[in-house]
């Protein structure tokens, strides 16, 4: 039987492989990160209180405890990650980017975000989840949009790139099983921790409904991460949260 790849045009196969690479993902997330930082600066320029996504706070607080306390330290770490990802992409021959790849990936992410919104609505259509662990009171539209971008960036870096990557590496080294078993375990564990994380610090009361709402979302994002890589997953998460901000409803 002919393999599935034989029915897919070579250009599509190349696009898929390259855009799945960590180097491509971290590169396009850098664009989103610059937009987030600049939009946050504008949104909070006249505010005495700055609200940040908890994943961002956790990541930066960890660096702070490690002695990296200057703002430029985070950019240095990101540059180091990019350099590592570049080496991996070069080794795997995944550097043959083409100009349309970035807009294609952004458009693809938007389609996934719309699909994710529909799926989540079907799974938890009766739930009302607070926006980013807060009811959103006192926050303007620009501030809520900035928080949505921050969630897409930092939650994917923390839970998919960091946690899922670590789990997959650990299972590969310690568990003699098929890769699909490792992947299923990594998705389930990371989704459970992703959902539980939203109750960290008492930001909102833990409920059965809200836990499984985010658990389902974490499972879908984990599957997307394995299939389409970090960049498309982060943009999908950010677009999904932006859609919900405009709808005035829940946010993952």
d(CA 199, CA 57): 14
> Has residue 2 been placed in a domain?
no
Q: Where are the alpha helices (DSSP H) in 198-249?
A: 208-247
> Has residue 223 been placed in a domain?
yes
Q: Where are the alpha helices (DSSP H) in the chain?
A: 10-20, 22-43, 54-65, 71-91, 101-123, 141-150, 165-174, 179-197, 208-247
> Has residue 252 been placed in a domain?
no
> Has residue 229 been placed in a domain?
yes
* Count of structural domains, the chain: 1
Report which DSSP code applies to 91: H
Place of tokens 């006249």: 46
pLDDT in tens, 163-217: 999 999 999 999 998 999 999 999 999 999 999 988 876 567 777 777 888 898 8
3-state secondary structure of 134: strand
Split at pLDDT 50, 70, 90, the class of 130 is very low
pLDDT in tens, 210-237: 788 889 889 999 999 999 999 999 999 9
- What average pLDDT score do residues 5-33 get? 89
Q: Are 235 and 30 in contact (CB under 8 A)?
A: no
Residue-range definition of the domain harbouring residue 72: 10-247
Split at pLDDT 50, 70, 90, the class of 134 is very low
> Has residue 57 been placed in a domain?
yes
Q: Are 54 and 201 in contact (CB under 8 A)?
A: yes
Place of tokens 């098929």: 178
> Has residue 4 been placed in a domain?
no
Split at pLDDT 50, 70, 90, the class of 60 is confident
> Has residue 65 been placed in a domain?
yes
3-state secondary structure of 131: strand
User: What contacts 227, CB < 8 A, 6 or more positions away?
Assistant: 20
Find the angle CA(77)-CA(82)-CA(86) to the nearest 5 degrees: 150
3-state secondary structure of 205: coil
Q: Hey, which residues does 131 pair with through a beta bridge? A: 134
> Has residue 37 been placed in a domain?
yes
Handedness of CA 160, 163, 169, 174 (dihedral sign): negative
d(CA 159, CA 197): 10
User: What contacts 222, CB < 8 A, 6 or more positions away?
Assistant: 160, 164, 186, 187, 190, 191
> Percent of the chain, pLDDT > 90?
52
């Amino acid at each position: 039987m002919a393999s599935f790849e034989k029915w897919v045009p070579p250009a599509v196969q190349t696009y898929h492989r390259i855009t799945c690479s960590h180097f491509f993902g971290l590169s396009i997330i850098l664009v989103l990160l610059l937009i987030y930082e600049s939009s946050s600066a504008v949104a909070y320029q006249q505010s005495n209180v700055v609200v940040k996504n908890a994943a961002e706070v956790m990541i930066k607080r960890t660096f702070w405890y490690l002695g990296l306390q200057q703002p430029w330290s985070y950019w240095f770490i990101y540059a180091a990650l990019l350099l590592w990802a570049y080496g991996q992409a070069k080794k795997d021959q995944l550097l043959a980017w083409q100009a349309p790849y970035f807009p294609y990936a952004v458009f693809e992410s938007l389609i996934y975000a719309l699909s994710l919104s529909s799926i989540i609505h079907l799974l938890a259509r009766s739930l009302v989840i607070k926006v980013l662990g807060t009811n959103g009171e006192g926050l303007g539209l620009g501030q809520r949009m900035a928080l949505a971008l921050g969630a897409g960036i930092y939650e994917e870096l923390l839970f998919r790139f960091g946690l899922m990557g670590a789990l997959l590496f650990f299972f590969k080294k310690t568990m003699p099983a098929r890769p699909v078993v490792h992947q299923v375990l990594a998705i389930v564990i990371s989704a459970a921790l992703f959902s539980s994380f939203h109750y960290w610090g008492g930001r909102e009361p833990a409920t059965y409904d809200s836990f499984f709402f985010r658990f389902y979302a974490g499972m879908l994002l984990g599957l997307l991460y394995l299939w389409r890589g970090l960049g498309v997953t982060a943009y999908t998460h950010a677009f999904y949260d932006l859609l919900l901000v405009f709808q005035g409803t829940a946010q993952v």
